[in-house]
Structure 1
Amino acid sequence: MRVRKLTFAVLAVAAGLSLTACNGDDLAAQSDGASASSASTSNTTSASTGSEQGGSEQEGATDSAGSGSGTDAETATCRTDELEVTASDTTITGDAEGSVAVTFKNGGGHDCTLSGYAGVDLKTSAGDLSAERSGQASDPVTLKDGESVSFGIVYPLNDSGGSGVSITGLVVTPPNETKSVTLAWPGAGTLPVTDGTGSSVTVGPMGSAGQGGAS
């Protein structure tokens, strides 16, 4: 009888140990599962937050790139090669002085601006004679393709009865340019002889001849 009780006791202890081991494994599995679930949730939240932040940064970059598209550039200066340059006699009978109008016509295919005074030199039998600026105020003139503007040249008429100084050509340099155009002189053929103390020829700003502006 004692042997049977001991056997039952041993079996009971073994069963208890087995049950404890199983419960321990279940608890460990549950603990590992909970940790994995928590880590997965944490990773998902982190990835979601990162995605939202990345989208915000990308939108910000797009906005930044989209803004500041730039303002329209200023109208370019008219270049000599883009201009058709002509000269005509505008002296009226009875005037005390002679006058010539020089016209710049824009043929460059785009808008351009002329501002200030052109350079003017008369080629004469006594050498080149540079015209002086008249001192008139000057505003920039913007020419569309095909439009034109004129300025005036005023010079003394040779009423001395002498042969004077022969004019053989006209050299014009557009404002803010260095390339010149040589034209035939359309005015009176001579200038009176002077003492050489200064230029007797003056040039006006853009718009100082014709209609006073673009036409």
Structure 2
Amino acid sequence: MRVHKLTLAALAVAAGLSLTACQSDDDGGSGGAAQSAPSSVPLTSSGASASSGAAGSSSDSGQNSGGSAQGGGTKSGGTDSGSTNSGGADTAGGAGSGGSGKAGKCRTDDLQITASDSTIGGDPKASVTVTLKNSSGHDCVISGYAGVDLKTDSGTVSAERVSQQSSVTAVLGSGKATYFPITYPFNKTGGTGVRITGLVVTPPDETHPVTLNWPGKPSLPVTDGSGSPVEVGPVGSAGQGG
């Protein structure tokens, strides 16, 4: 009996050891399963890689976007808002302002003024033609009557305007000339009369005169003031030499 009990006890111990071993094996399997958790690390690594790739894509996208923006800035600055277009418009507008071709008035300093005798034989009155030549290098506008004074040994005689002739406004090109006539009575008596010593011409719309040598008849007749006056025609009313 005692032997039988020992045998049973031994079997019980063996069974317990076997059960423990099985449990140990099961725990090892569980531990293996627990250790297999690191197999999820590649997933995490893969997710990080994907996230990194997304970040890289975002960075690339940002760089591309930035490059595109920089390219747009260059175009805008260089073409659309650059000084070439703006300057071209200003320049076109200026030279259009200045480039409009509107000429200013002919000033005394713009003109070369000369006088010549243009008397035609048999006419009751003598005449002198005054030439106004534009020597300024640019166009200028001239119109109206010049001021004309004859200097004499008895004082100054101012010419009167010929009222029946109208004034014409003209653009006088550089190097071009226009003319106006002076008509006057001259001494036919053989006496000295009133000697003419000079001619003073003031261009239209000017206050600066030019004094010229008198090219015409030497003297005016002596009158009581009721005689024929010295007269001046408007600019453009006489041709060259007459």
C-alpha deviation, 1:82, in angstroms: 4.6
The structure whose Rg is larger is: 2
Does 2:92 match 1:65? no
Map of 1:115 onto structure 2: 142
- What is the TM-score normalised by the length of structure 1? 0.76
For residue 51 of structure 1, give the secondary structure of its aligned residue in structure 2: helix
Map of 2:152 onto structure 1: 124
Equivalent residues in 2 for 1:26-45, closer than 5 Å: 26-45=46-65
C-alpha deviation, 1:13, in angstroms: 0.3
- What is the TM-score normalised by the length of structure 2? 0.69
Task: Provide the C-alpha distance between the structure 1 equivalents of 2:203 and 2:221, rounded to a whole number of angstroms.
Answer: 24
Q: 1:133 to 1:148 in 2, by over 3 A?
A: same
Q: How many residues align?
A: 208
Map of 1:9 onto structure 2: 30
1:105 maps to which of 133, 149, 156: 133
Q: Which has the higher helix share?
A: 2
C-alpha deviation, 1:78, in angstroms: 4.2
Gapped regions of structure 1 (runs ≥ 5): none
The more displaced of 82-91 and 42-51 is 42-51
2:213 maps to which of 177, 184, 187: 184
Gapped regions of structure 2 (runs ≥ 5): 1-20
C-alpha deviation, 1:174, in angstroms: 2.5
What is the alpha-carbon root mean square deviation over aligned residues?
3.2
Equivalent residues in 2 for 1:1-215, closer than 5 Å: 1=21, 2-16=23-37, 18-49=38-69, 51-52=71-72, 54-56=74-76, 58-61=78-81, 62-67=84-89, 69=92, 70-71=95-96, 72=99, 73-75=101-103, 77-108=105-136, 110-116=137-143, 117-135=145-163, 136=165, 137-145=167-175, 147-158=176-187, 164-188=193-217, 189-195=219-225, 200-211=229-240
C-alpha deviation, 1:208, in angstroms: 1.9
Tell me the amino acid that sits aligned with residue 48 of structure 2. A
C-alpha deviation, 1:23, in angstroms: 1.4
Identity %: 40
Task: Provide the C-alpha distance between the structure 1 equivalents of 2:239 and 2:212, rounded to a whole number of angstroms.
Answer: 19
C-alpha deviation, 1:49, in angstroms: 4.9
Task: Provide the C-alpha distance between the structure 1 equivalents of 2:87 and 2:72, rounded to a whole number of angstroms.
Answer: 20
